[in-house]
Structure formats: structure tokens, C-alpha cells
Amino acid sequence: MRAAYDEIADWYETEFLPRTADDPLGLGRVLAGLLGRGEGACLEIGCGTGVHAAALRDLGWSPVGVDLSAGMLRHARPRLPIVRGDAARLPFRDGSLPAAVALMVHTDMPAYPAVLREAVRVLRPGGVLVHVGVHPCFCGGFADRTDPEAVVVGPGYLDGHWTKKSWTDQGIRDKVGASHWPLAELLGAFLEAGLVLDGFAEGNGPTPMVLGVRARRP
């Protein structure tokens, strides 16, 4: 189970994360607003290096992470309990969790609709799933964000695709590639998985890079 992120795990931890420490995208605000305070286990699907564990604890949750990349999990181990596994085949019992989050990972998962179905399986009735990911309307291989005040959106938004095309060589997309779902297709995957859409939020402007979705298992 070798994962693409194995090759960039050390770069991600030592170079990429320090550049995002002040949360310029507003991810923390979106997560807190959609997930809210709670207690009990909160599964982070695609936890990577576990950098979001502290934010989940601050909200009262007990984070546990799952990720495919052994390299990323090596950095996550001191931050939260972890298990190596496929997000489309989560190693948790049916109806066992009150909450789950997927933070900035859906473009890394070509089978994301299957991941959403798995989230439904492991959530308790009434359990919450919070998705926070790159904004499908304003961030992708079709978008040039060189000038954050004037994002240029070219052809390609309506085409679901995987690409390494990126407006910057300082990010992740150009290194491991990313999948894209237009907004309607992305939200439709939540409904097809059996989730009830419950809330939305967007990241910092002027043109947000982050879209958040809160959904619940009926």
C-alpha cells in the first residue's frame, strides 16, 4: 500500500506546514463553525501528519486518524492515535462513531464517493461528517491564483479530471496530482451516499480556496 504522499511526507512536515501555520485559508474557522464542540471519538479521514488533531481536541473531541501513507503517519504518531488504512474501506465497526472529518483530502482520493459511503457506514445515526476541502469553483488545474485579488478561471471546471497542473510550484497539486469534482457532482455524492446536507461555509476571501460542508447520517 505505497501512497503518493510517502515521497513528500518530510517536505510536507518541514516545509509546507510551516507556511500554513497562521491558517491563511480560514480552514480552522470553517472547521470550528461546522463541527462545533462535542465529545467522544472524531475520526479524521486522511489525517496525514495529524496536524489538525489539536484543533479537534480544542473543540472537545478525541481525534483518531486513518491514512494510507506510512510516511505521513510517521509524523502523525505523536499527535493522535492512528491506523493505517484505505479511506474507502475504513477499519471501524458499523455505526460506531459520533463524528468524522475529512480535511483538505478529497482531491487526493479518486474514490471519494466511496469514502463518503464508508463514512455513513461507520457513523452513528445522527452522526456528523464535516468535509473541508479546496473550493471546486475557484481552485483546480483550471484556475490561476497567481494574483489572489483576480483569480483567472479557464476552461476545465466542468470536466471531472485528475491533474498535476498548478498555478504554483510551492503547493501539493504539482507534486502528487489532484482529482476534481464540479460543485454539483461533489454535493451530489453526499446525497447519493445517504447523507443529509446540514450546513456550508467558505474560507477566507477575496476568492475563497476552501469550501466546507456539514452533513449527517439520518
- The DSSP line for 82-137 is EEE--TTS-SS-TT-EEEEEEES-GGG-TTHHHHHHHHHHHEEEEEEEEEEEE-TT
pTM higher than 0.85: yes
The answer to whether 113 touches 188, Cβ cutoff 8 Å, is: no
The answer to whether 143 touches 153, Cβ cutoff 8 Å, is: yes
Chain position carrying cell 485559508: 25
Cα separation, 38 vs 22, in Å, equals: 24
Tell me: the pLDDT tens digits for 189-210?
Answer: 999 999 999 999 999 989 999 9
Residue 78 CB contacts under 8 Å (≥ 6 apart), including other chains: 50
The answer to whether 30 touches 89, Cβ cutoff 8 Å, is: no
Tell me: the pLDDT tens digits for 27-81?
Answer: 999 999 999 999 999 999 999 999 999 999 999 999 999 999 999 999 999 999 9
How far, rounded to the nearest angstrom, does the alpha carbon of residue 68 sit from its chain's CA centroid? 14
